A = this chain, B = another copy of it.
Amino acid sequence: MALEKAFGRVLQEIRQERGISQEELGFESGYHRTYISLLERGRKSPSLKTVFDIAMALKISPSEMIRRVQARMGERQE
């Protein structure tokens, strides 16, 4: 799986585990809800700064988030 798509899946997964909406995550991280949506759909490629901002808002370590992205990238496409 490509990086952007894997990142989007992991982002959505963690956000849903936390039980928060795209709007709430946007508010917490300082990004617009539509940008969160684009990231989750793999339509935007985040900067490292964005990864850190979002991980902080999701209360997850950036390195743990990236570890999950790598695991996703290693999986077969559906």
- Give the interface of A toward B (CB within 8 A): 3-4, 7, 45-52, 61-64, 66-67, 69-70
Further 13 A-B residue pairs, CB within 8 A, beyond A3-B48, A45-B47, A62-B66: A3-B49, A3-B52, A4-B49, A45-B49, A46-B47, A47-B48, A48-B48, A48-B50, A48-B51, A63-B63, A63-B64, A63-B70, A66-B66
CA–CA, A48 to B26, complex, Å?
Answer: 19
* Interchain residue pairs with CB less than 8 A apart (12): A3-B48, A3-B52, A45-B47, A45-B49, A46-B47, A47-B47, A48-B48, A48-B50, A61-B70, A62-B70, A63-B63, A63-B70
Copies in the assembly, this chain:
2
